Amino acid sequence: MKVNFIDILRYENNFLETVTAKTAELLKNGHFVGGPIVGQFEAAIKDYTKTAFALGCANGTDAIQLALRAAGVEKNDKVLLPDMTFWATFESIVNVGAIPCTIDVSKETLHLTLASVKEGVEKFKPKALLLVHLYGWACPETMEIRKYCHENNVILVEDCAQAIGVKINGEDILTNALVATTSYYPAKVLGASGDAGGIFTTDQKIAETTKILLNHGRTGHYDHGMIGWNSRLGAYEANFLVESLKYLDARLESRRHVCNEYRAKIKNPALNFLKPSDDVVENGYLSVALMTPETRPAFIEYLKKNEIGYGTVYPGAMSAQPGATAHIGGKISHGHAEWIAKSIINLPCFAYMKQEEIDYVIETVNNFKA
């Protein structure tokens, strides 16, 4: 048997037919960019996440840049971010003219901690923190970090590109974030058929500024009150997302099942399966296990031999990327991000993975001898 790391083509019955028919309607009516379907998606995702304001944009990287700008991050402001994340977070800070400062993550939770955020704030005196929630989890101390940032005038922007559908204490992660962003890239938990992204906020002013920035700083058709850019959400993407959102809960359940099966049934001591903190309900974006830098290479060869796809999310620390050198304003490093990068392994995980595929992965991994 062959099991891919991810298969995003496992759609529900009639899903593609419905999307295609509705896309044809949009074409016939000349709705290419924006239009009622974008408003329809924004209303539906606002309702699902119970946020005060939800806006669509062109991609998840733009969403971070829009959120940073709209929340008040300006040229030469320092912005903290975790050293273990996707490069888009580092890049976004630089692209808005600000200065990224990386903080190491915990070796146990793979995320920032309140203590590490405090250390970063005291050391770098940043204007903002870009908190990243990875693997379909939430950073374990999100509530404490939100409170600390609020009390210490640190603008908190949360990157939820991997966290759609995640719950903290029974509440959607997006509901009460000052400003959070997501990516609807096709391989994400809620994916479009191309690039798309979203911004969520509880703050009316941030929502209004974001709306202006993502449409050329427009305050009227030919009135431009700010320097923005074109980051509008396309109508076809919005249409695909409206239909996908109808199945989001079913897809989440299917993904969570895969993660739980691995945790319950893989007994190989070479792999230590992690889970989010007890107050968090994951969305099943990734399955996460830690090995060691010594055991992982042979395991990867073994997976390849047995035709099982895998991920190593992410294979390097941000501060070590060649592109970081010219821009980084400082770092707090204990070598954790580098260690995680060499030790992490992600097994196949996607919506509607078949039980026989899950069983094959479990049996094969259990038979691996380190």
Q: Which range of residues in 28-36, 84-92, 205-213, 292-300 is near ligand PLP by CB under 6 A? A: 84-92
Query: In degrees rounded to 5, what are phi and psi of residue 274?
Result: -100, 160
Residue 159 C-alpha from the chain's centroid: 6
| CA trace torsion 41, 43, 49, 53 (10° rounding) | 120
DSSP assignment of 144-180 equals HHHHHHHHTT-EEEEE-TT-TT-EETTEETTTT-SEE
Residue tagged 């099942």 (tokens): 257
CB of 167 to ligand PLP, least distance (A): 18
CB of 41 to ligand PLP, least distance (A): 16
Binding ligand PLP (rule: CB under 6 A), the pick from 56, 73, 78, 86 is 86
Binding ligand PLP (rule: CB under 6 A), the pick from 89, 113, 244, 346 is 89
Q: Please tell me whether residue 283 binds ligand PLP under the rule CB under 6 A.
A: no
CB of 213 to ligand PLP, least distance (A): 16
CB of 343 to ligand PLP, least distance (A): 19
**77/159 with CB nearer ligand PLP:** 159
Peptide bond preceding 314 in cis form (omega within 30 of 0): yes
What is the side-by-side strand order in the sheet with 171-172? 171-172, 167-168, 280-281
Q: Please tell me whether residue 185 binds ligand PLP under the rule CB under 6 A.
A: yes
**88/270 with CB nearer ligand PLP:** 88
Q: CA-to-CA distance for 133 and 124, rounded, in angstroms?
A: 22
Q: Which range of residues in 98-106, 155-163, 213-221, 337-345 is near ligand PLP by CB under 6 A? A: 155-163
Phi-psi region of 217 (alpha: psi -120 to 50; beta: other; left: phi over 0): left
Structure token digits, residue 204? 């009316």
Q: Please tell me whether residue 244 binds ligand PLP under the rule CB under 6 A.
A: no
- Interface with ligand PLP (CB under 6 A), residue total 15
Binding ligand PLP (rule: CB under 6 A), the pick from 83, 159, 243, 338 is 159
